[in-house]
Amino acid sequence: MKEVSFMQIKRTGSWFNLRNVTVLLLIIYFSIFLVYPIYKAFAGSLHDWNPLIDKYEFIGLDNFKNVLTSSAFWQSMKNTFVFAFFSVVFRLIIGLGLAMLLSSKLTRFKTFFQGLFYMPTITPLVAVSFVWMWMFDPQFGLINKVFNLDINWLKDSSWALPAIIIMTIWKDFGYATVIFLGGIMGLPEEVFEAADIDGATGWQKFVKVTLPLLKPTTLFVVITSLITYLQAYIQILIMTEGGPGTSTYVISYLIFDEAFVKYNFGAASAMAIILFVIIGILTVLMFKVTGERKVK
Give the model's confidence band at 9: pLDDT under 50 very low, under 70 low, under 90 confident, else very high.
very low
Residue 295 has pLDDT above 80, yes or no: no
d(CA 4, CA 249): 65
State mean pLDDT over 262-279.
93
Torsion 196-198-204-210 (CA) sign: negative
Query: What would the mean pLDDT of 202-230 be, rounded to a whole number?
Result: 89
Residue 15 has pLDDT above 50, yes or no: no
Report residue 33's pLDDT band, with 50, 70 and 90 as the boundaries.
Answer: confident
Q: What is the pLDDT of residue 143?
A: 94
Report the distance separating Cα 249 and Cα 226, nearest Å.
17
**21 pLDDT more than 90:** no
Q: Band the pLDDT of 19: cuts 50, 70, 90.
A: confident
| Residues sharing a CB contact under 8 Å with residue 248, sequence separation 6 or more, in sequence order | 79, 160, 161, 164, 236, 239, 240, 242
Checking if the pLDDT of 106 tops 60, the result is no
Q: What is the mean pLDDT of the chain?
A: 87
| pLDDT of amino acid 46 | 95
Say whether pLDDT at 250 is over 60: yes
Residue 269 · residue 225 · CB < 8 Å: no
Local confidence band at 14 (pLDDT 50, 70, 90 cut-offs): low
Look at residue 291 in the predicted model and tell me its pLDDT. Answer: 60
Question: Residue 201 belongs to what H/E stretch?
Answer: none
Rounded to an integer, the average pLDDT of 194-205 is 85
Q: Are 172 and 121 in contact (CB under 8 A)?
A: yes
Residues 286, 200 contacting (CB under 8 angstroms): no
pLDDT surpasses 50 at 1: no
Q: pTM for this one?
A: 0.85
Residues in the chain: 296
- Tell me which of 17-26, 229-238, 250-259 is least confident: 17-26
- State the Cα–Cα distance between residues 241 and 238, nearest whole angstrom: 6
Name the strand (E) or helix (H) holding 47: strand 47-50
CB neighbour list of residue 237: distance below 8 Å, 6 or more residues apart: 253, 256
Residue 57 gets which letter from DSSP? E
Q: First vs last Cα of the chain: how many Å apart? A: 58
Q: Does pLDDT of 12 surpass 90?
A: no
| Residue 194 scores a pLDDT above 60 | yes
Q: Give CA–CA dist 34/252, Å, rounded.
A: 18
Rounded Cα distance, 272 and 63, in Å: 11
pLDDT score, position 134: 94
For residue range 162-184, what is the model confidence (pLDDT) as tens digits? 999 999 999 999 999 999 998 99
Range in 79-83, 169-173, 286-290 with the lowest mean pLDDT: 286-290
pLDDT of residue 166: 96
In the chain, where the domains are located: 17-64, 71-295
Contact (Cβ atoms closer than 8 angstroms) between residue 221 and residue 172: no
280 vs 176, higher pLDDT: 176
DSSP H helical ranges for the chain: 6-12, 14-30, 36-44, 62-68, 71-103, 110-122, 125-135, 142-147, 160-185, 189-197, 202-205, 211-213, 215-229, 234-239, 251-260, 265-295
Tell whether the model's pLDDT for residue 144 goes beyond 90.
Answer: yes
Residue 34 burial (CB < 10 Å; 0-12/13-18/19+)? exposed
pLDDT at 247 over 70: yes
- In this prediction, residue 16 carries a pLDDT of 54
Q: How far is Cα 268 from Cα 265, in angstroms, rounded to an integer?
A: 5
Q: Coil, helix or strand for 248?
A: coil
pLDDT of residue 164: 96
Say how far residue 135 (Cα) sits from the centre of its chain.
24
CATH superfamily of 71-295: MetI-like (1.10.3720.10)
